[in-house]
Amino acid sequence: MKNTKIILVIRFTLLVLLLGCVTTLCAAGAPLRLAIIGDSTVCEYPPDHACRGWGHYIQDYFKDTVRVINLNASSGRLYEQLGSAANDVVASTPEDRAHFNENGARMMAHLVMQELAQVEPRLAKELSPGGPAALGEIADKPLFRDPVYDGAADPVLCWNHAEKKWFMFYTNRRANAPDTPGVSWVHGTKIGIAESSDGGATWKYRGTANINYGRGEYSYWAPEVIEHGGTYHMYLTFVPGMHTDWSGTRDIIHLTSKDLLNWKYESMLKLSSNRVIDACVMRLPDGSWRMWYNNEVDRKSIYYADSPDLYEWDDKGKAMGDRPGEGPKVFYWKGSYWMVVDVWKGLGIYKSQDCLKWTRQANNLLEEPGQGPDDKVKGGHPDVVVSGGRAYLFYFTHPGRQNPNEKEDAYEQRRSSIQVVELESKDAWLSCRRDEPTYINLQPATDTSK
């Protein structure tokens, strides 16, 4: 085994460290030497910038067998993700912007170790399974924007067992489409798909779901996707016709798939009215299934229905109606059932021990605007994924809906972005810190077909 020398040029830290004779990392061959070099005088600058960093020229001194990594791009991207809150999050004091506090130092250490582990697999094998590396990578901010219409909303995630990737399904609102008066841009929508191969930190556009249900003009909204027994099930809001206002009927249809790409129509569910949207499905402890949804006829209250097999559903009526809301998401975490509801002033939180009686949390999540890119507005229509004992809240924002142009109806107000933040359990209720980096590590889901 050849000697491996790794040189990292880091933007924010001033450190020169040589680690020699690391025989535990390379027991079968020569020692591994790591060199970490850096401060702002070493970093690379844009070609048109007058400054130059000496780290830019280090690679010239080595053979092709030596790889030089410049972390300026990664650390710079992290700083941009934090937005205007960056100094508050990472600086040691408001007066000292040149040094890190504990949070900033841990963030930069995490960034360095991510790069080291990718370049040197032997080092990755020596990382503590319960240490900081288990937190995962820092999620992009914004997490995802649809490259076609730039109107990704209503996200829901599902593990693709065959491809071993996470899929994100979303309503593909036509934010940049011309000649779309009123709310017609929210209609005529398909269901977009994005995929992630790194535990949810980064996402790329995959295409749209092949559904092929409906005649003439119609819309697909707010998918719910789950897997059971080797079959994927989608419960999808179907809106026939094209509308410039919020009129028209809405129904929830059931589709199945074997690959998460091609979908077969099964049925239209018989629920409480012909204006029902935003299904959420979860398995109960007795093996049966429960669906929560929004009944627009009854003050947009949350209703529910039960099923023994995901195909036949029995509507049970109102689950809660203390305030209007939509996009319910129910999950089990930390010994309780939780329901998150978009109440248009952030996300309302409810807790239950039996999925029947719900207690409302005093404060909403994501009601106060954040400070990061595309996150300076309230959050809406969530999904929650519980993985590895941690809970991740996915939501969307309309970044352009800020004063003084909040009420305008142009592309900037219509476009939307997907974001993610980790949930925390504090004093028996839920909270989150949207202005801090989100470390995410979505684990492969259990294959229930085996």
At 70 the pLDDT is 65
| C-beta separation of 100 from 109 below 8 A | no
Residue 65, burial from CB neighbour count under 10 angstroms (0-12, 13-18, 19+): exposed
Output the DSSP codes for 10-74: ESS--EEEEE---GGG-TTSSPPEEEEEESTTTS---TT-S---GGGGGGGGS-TTSEEEETHHH
Output the DSSP codes for 396-415: EE-TT--TTSTT--SHHHH-
pLDDT-derived band at 72 (thresholds 50, 70, 90) equals low
C-alpha 359/C-alpha 444 separation (Å) is 32
pLDDT-derived band at 129 (thresholds 50, 70, 90) equals confident
Q: Which residue has the tokens 């259990």?
A: 446
At 120 the pLDDT is 67
At 20 the pLDDT is 32
Mean of the pLDDT values across residues 151-155?
A: 98
pLDDT-derived band at 82 (thresholds 50, 70, 90) equals confident
* Position 73, amino acid: A
Residue 22 or 426, more confident: 426
Output the DSSP codes for 312-370: S-EEEEEEE-SS--EEEEEEEETTEEEEEEE-SSSEEEEEESSSSS-EE-SS-BS-S--
Report percent pLDDT > 70 for the chain. Answer: 84
Q: What's the token pair of residue 210?
A: 């092949």
At 114 the pLDDT is 72
- pLDDT tens, residue by residue, 14-49: 333 333 333 344 444 444 444 545 666 666 677 887
pLDDT-derived band at 357 (thresholds 50, 70, 90) equals very high
At 133 the pLDDT is 74
* Position 271, amino acid: L
The average confidence (pLDDT) of the chain is 87
- Pick the range with the lowest mean pLDDT from 133-142, 204-213, 338-347, 407-416: 133-142
- Pick the range with the lowest mean pLDDT from 89-93, 344-348, 427-431: 89-93
Q: Does pLDDT of 89 surpass 80?
A: no
Residue 297 or 30, more confident: 297
| C-beta separation of 325 from 343 below 8 A | yes
At 50 the pLDDT is 80
Report percent pLDDT > 90 for the chain. Answer: 67
pLDDT-derived band at 119 (thresholds 50, 70, 90) equals low
C-alpha 114/C-alpha 136 separation (Å) is 9
Alpha-carbon radius of gyration of the chain: 24
Mean of the pLDDT values across residues 102-131?
A: 74
Mapping DSSP to helix (H, G, I), strand (E, B) and coil, where does residue 112 land?
helix
Residues whose CB is less than 8 angstroms from the CB of residue 432 and which lie 6 or more positions away in sequence, other chains included: 365, 366, 393, 421, 422, 423, 424
Q: Does pLDDT of 153 surpass 80?
A: yes
Query: What domains can be seen in the chain, in order of their start residue?
Result: 5-135 (no CATH), 140-440 (2.115.10.20)
Residues whose CB is less than 8 angstroms from the CB of residue 392 and which lie 6 or more positions away in sequence, other chains included: 200, 384, 385, 386, 420, 421, 422, 423, 438, 440, 442
β strands within 99-230, DSSP E: 137-138, 152-160, 165-172, 191-196, 204-208, 218-228
- pLDDT tens, residue by residue, 373-392: 999 999 999 999 999 999 99
At 48 the pLDDT is 83
- pLDDT tens, residue by residue, 221-256: 999 999 999 999 999 999 999 999 999 999 999 999
